[in-house]
Amino acid sequence: MIPVTKTFLPPIEEYLTHLQKVWDLKWLTNRGPLIRELEDKIKDVLRVKHIIITNNGTIPLQIAVKLFGNHGEVITTPFSYVATTSSIVWENCKPVFVDIDPDHLTIDEKKIEAAITSKTTAILATHVFGNPCNVEVIETIAKKHNLKVIYDGAHCFGVNYNNTSIFNYGDVSTCSFHATKLFQTGEGGALFCNSSELYEKLFYSHNFGHNGPEDFLAPGINGKSSELHAAMGLTVLPYVNRIITDRKKIIDYYLKNLSPGKLKVLKIREGTEWNYSYFPVIFESETVLLEAIKKLNESGIFPRRYFYPSLNTLRYLNTQKMPVSESVAQTIACLPLYSGLEENDLERICNIINSVL
């Protein structure tokens, strides 16, 4: 079977070396030395100022919306994983969708201002498949209207834009360290920010509101990760560059061998050092997409309709028409992409898709 992704697992002996430290100290959670070591190493690798490692990639979104949403309207994208929208709803805010750019698949910055009302408190946009939003225009709009900016960067570990980490943009940026991501801690995520004052708020928000053992500044939740997860992250981190290189080779093969002109591929924003996190392709119709998936599945190959459906069509929301996002969601799929995917398997995938096209 060829799944859409496989978790990169480092040599178990290296993982056990880190685990031994956990056993020696008998410190499993509550921000032990491995979590703090991993935060410091990620700051050095990514060149970011502040990071808080969390227990998953959704908690950072919920914390940011809790701090900035104020029960108001949050402008967001309909083309993302459901956590982007559900975090807004979960924190008792209203998602206001803005359609996407058909080439970059990120929120269409040209349509944001028209969606702003007196109730708008924030913009929550997704760097889709690690492809940056137009952060300069979004920042200008946010400053003009006194709005906070949250970026869902779940796919963005290792992405640079204009020679700096994509996590250095926005008031808060988030990431997922889920097992399906190119950098993983099994389950986990992170908050990033540049403001020291905001960092303190984010920190106590993910730690029950603690400002000390018996001092609570404000309401908070348990967003902490564990030493066991940190041990995985410390083991995987040295392999990130190799993982990105492996993924680039696979995407280069797809680009060379899939039928030109029959599929539309993601346009990476100029100035981006991409991490090759996913390889989405857009078919000319949903009929062709479903036929390709059927043929691939029959051969034991399992791409994923990612993202589907368009989030504005979720049953628990009042539907707002988003024609570009809805069209893309109906015709897009991510092809298998992971370290260890063999060339003969890539050849089979391309041959099947090309035969359908």
CA 306, 311, 314, 319 dihedral sign is: negative
pLDDT at 211: 76
CA dihedral of residues 198, 195, 181, 259 (deg, nearest 10): 130
Residue type, 176: S
Fold of 239-356: Aspartate Aminotransferase, domain 1 (3.90.1150)
pLDDT at 318: 78
Mean pLDDT value of segment 181-186: 97
Mean pLDDT value of segment 296-302: 98
Give, in words, the CATH class of 12-98+105-238.
alpha beta
CA dist 313 and 321 (Å) reads 8
CB distance 63 to 223 below 8 Å: yes
Task: Give per-residue burial for 290-308: e unless 16+ CB within 10 Å, then b.
Answer: bbbbeebeeeebebbbebb
pLDDT at 48: 98
Q: How far is CA 275 from CA 11, 262, 269, in A?
A: 22, 25, 13
pLDDT at 218: 86
Mean pLDDT value of segment 40-65: 98
Residue 279, pLDDT > 90, answer yes
Query: Which tens digits make up the pLDDT trace of 304-314?
Result: 999 999 999 99
**pLDDT above 70 covers what percent of the chain?**
100
Listing DSSP states for 304-331 in one string gives: B-TT-S-GGG-TTS-----HHHHHHHHH
pLDDT at 232: 98
Residue 212, pLDDT > 80, answer no
Mean pLDDT of the chain: 97
Domain parsing of the chain, residue ranges: 12-98+105-238, 239-356
Give 277's pLDDT tier (boundaries 50, 70, 90). Answer: very high
Query: Which tens digits make up the pLDDT trace of 213-228?
Result: 777 888 899 999 999 9
